[in-house]
Structure 1
């Protein structure tokens, strides 16, 4: 815990800005793609950069594609 006391205030401010920016971008982009925006937004607030990496691998690259049924009504 001693190393946390050594970190300067600008580091914490920068970390908060990065987390909020990442979370906002993930939420907005996932909402456009209809791919669980709340999950990506909340996960983006918790840590950096793993949610962004997984988002690009899973959603943007197409590894996980949702099968949509077409109703014949």
Structure 2
């Protein structure tokens, strides 16, 4: 699957929303999309976003952005890295 610059960790959109990581979990609201961990560079609020929304996301806390996807943590690995 091709990678897009807007899904690369470190990418910041024009509203100051930065991609932190690909969670690997599927989107609950957009079939076929993956959830990405986002952080607002202004207030440091973290939330989930599907890949197609990253370029236009606004902070749900202070920019009247949509609530975002639920962030989930991966279960612990049986094998230490």
- Taking structure 1 as the reference length, what is the TM-score of the superposition? 0.30
Q: TM-score, normalised by structure 2?
A: 0.28
Work out which of the two has the higher radius of gyration on C-alpha atoms and give 1 or 2: 1
Q: Which protein has the bigger strand share?
A: 2
* Greater helix fraction, Structure 1 or Structure 2: 1
